[in-house]
Each structure stands twice: as C-alpha cells, then as structure tokens.
Amino acid sequence: MVSSTLSDVARLAGVSYATADRVVNQRSRVSEKAARKVNDAVAQLGYVRNVAAANLSQRRTYRFVFLLPDGPNAFFQKIRGIISARDQDQRNTMLEQIDVPAFNEKALRTQLANLYGQKIDGVAVVGLDVQGLAPELTALRSLGTPVVSLISDLPRDHRNAYIGIDNIAAGRTAARLLGMAHAGQAGRLQVVAGDLTARDHRDRLAGFRQVITADFPTITMPDLIEGRDDSVLIAKAMTISLADNPDLTAIYSIGAGNNGLIQAIRAQSLRPIVALHELVCLSRSALCDGLIHYVIDQRPEEEVDAALALMRALIDNVPPPPIKPILPTIYLRDNLPPLPEQEPPQ
C-alpha cells in the first residue's frame, strides 16, 4: 500500500500545499475552516507526518535541558558523562546540563523558573516530590514544554512521565537480600538515606521497611540516618551508630555519600553485611575488598536514552515510545562487568 503524501492531503482538502504544510507542521496560524479541512483529510487518508523530513526542511535543532543534583555524587557524575556522550553522538540535538544543589527545593524552583519562556524542547529533572514545585512545572508545561522526571519522581500531576526504576521494588530487593543473609537469625540493621524529600529515597525506604517488617521481624532497626548524600556527615553518623550498636549486623545505604560509609566500615574489626546502590568506581572496589556485599545498579544509560526518546516524541507530537520497565542489576564481587573508564569516588 502506497503511503499518502502531503500533496494528497492538500488535494483532498481543497487547499494549497503551503496551507496543508502549515497545518500539519504547526508552523503558523491558518483559518479555522482550512485547518478543519486539512485535519479531516489527514484522518481520511491516514496520513502520517514525516517528522524527520519536516525537521530537515526547517533546519530544526532540538534543545533538551537536564537539571541534575550538583556535588561529588559519582552516580550523577556518571549520568553527566552519558549525557555528554549522547550530545556528541546525536545530530540536530543540543543537550544542556544545569547543576542544582541537591535536595534544595528553592534552588530547583529557581532553575525551573529561569527556563520559562526560553526556546526549549524538553526538560528532564531529577526531581523532588514536593508540591512547592507545582507552579514552575505547570508554567513550563503550559508553553508546551514536556517535563520528564528522571531517576527521582516529581509530583505526578505536574510532569509528563517518569523515567527510572521502581524504587519501592529496589528497596524491597535490598531488604530481601539482607534479610536472607541473616539465615533466620536475629539482627540489627542501620539504614542510611540522603533526604526523604527525594522520591527515590522515600520509596526505597518504604519498600525496604515493608519486607523487613513482614518477613524478617527478628531484625530491628535503629533510627534512620539522613546524611544528605554528604560523605563527611555520613562518616560521622555511621561511626556513632557502629559505636552505639555493637551488635549491628547489616547496613543499607539508600543514596550516595558512600565514601563516608565505607570509611566508617573499614575502621571496624567486625563488619556488617552491606547493600548499597549504583555501580561506580568506589562501590566496585569495596565489593572486591569485601567491605560491601551487594550493589543494586539502575542502568543509567537506559534511563538517559529513554528520557531523550520520550521528550523528542512529545515535542514532535507523535505517539511516544512505550516506557519499558528499567530493571536494576544486582552485582556481587563474582559477577562484576568489565572495568569501565575511571570514575570519581562517591
């Protein structure tokens, strides 16, 4: 079957090719009557707009902006490297990165407000799930700018989609691994988070507690440590916890700042079982040295590629690609992938 062309649409609608082109590609306003005729012809013929050809004719360049937490977080430095590589690989696409102080609602609101009115084709945000961001997110989307939450979700009603792992399932997975490692024995388990305004941290904690409470009731937990992904704060807090809880059998680190966690563990003669997130240089080395035991990695390359594909489809007004589940990988010292290029410590 031969596909319909824009000339076919114009002929059936009884308008000029230029008018059909303006309607289909939304280049400028035409009369309501002409637009209706063209849209009726599109539906009747089953015409599918050739986005690539339209962009080529317009010399279209996409501009996508990523708002990422700043600081020495090795995982987000890895994300930055992936985005930079994609920026170099893709034609007609500009990928910009803006650093935002981690867990800082006011700073994130300011950066979102700064993007309002700029010529942007999509914004990907490592989000905070706080309603205070709603005005800025609503304003961006009112201009037709797609907003995608990446890795950590935004308020659900104020973004187009979320790209990332199921963090409740990730927390449940960590709990199952650490719970089974106790082999039915009692234990004491310290949880370390960054900040619970981050949806990914809050969901991981919720999933973790669900499994420990339901299936491993003999494992108790001291008060949560919120270290704001700061390795210095976490080292101090973890050293205190190890001293106050000499019977500590396990540690679950929800976020970053794991350099401080590993420093505190290294100073102990009796070492607990440890699970944390993201395979970076530090966690790989700690696995090999036996300082930690499980790493749950969320495949950041897949997340960046999915966010780009989705934003492009939304701004092109074509059916978005299906958002496939991103399934994390569990790494032990026995199944590590080949060593990547050197990454900074977390």
pLDDT of res. 319: 81
- Report whether CATH 2.130.10.10 matches the domain 167-297: no
Identify the pLDDT of residue 176: 98
Smallest CA-to-CA distance from 77 within 97, 103, 107 is with: 97
Task: Assign residue 30 a region (left: φ > 0; alpha: ψ between -120 and 50; beta: otherwise).
Answer: beta
Straight-line distance from the first to the last Cα atom of the chain, in angstroms, rounded to the nearest whole number: 56
* Residue intervals in the chain for CATH 3.40.50.2300: 60-164+301-326, 167-297
Amino acid at position 90, single letter: Q
- CB count, 10 Å around CB of 326? 16
C-alpha distance from residue 299 to each of 54, 108, 309 (Å) = 33, 25, 16
H or E stretch covering 259:
helix 258-266
Reported CATH class of domain 60-164+301-326? alpha beta
Residue 216 one-letter amino acid: F
> Contact 183/114 with Cβ under 8 angstroms?
no
Give the model's pLDDT for residue 24: 78
In this predicted structure, what is the pLDDT of residue 197? 93
Question: What does the alpha-carbon distance between residue 237 and residue 223 come to, in Å, rounded to a whole number?
Answer: 11
Closest CA to 133 of 70, 65, 198: 198
Element (DSSP H or E) covering residue 74: helix 74-89
Low-confidence ranges of the chain (pLDDT < 70): 1-2, 26-28, 49-60, 340-346
pLDDT of residue 342: 53
What is the spatial distance between Cα 190 and Cα 163, in angstroms, rounded to a whole number? 29
Residue written as tokens 């701004």?
315
pLDDT at position 16 is 81
pTM assigned to the model: 0.81
Q: Are 321 and 309 in contact (CB under 8 A)?
A: yes
For tokens 């080292």, the residue is: 235
pLDDT tens digits, residue range 42-61?
888 887 766 555 554 455 68
Residue among 151, 137, 150, 208 nearest 174 (CA): 208
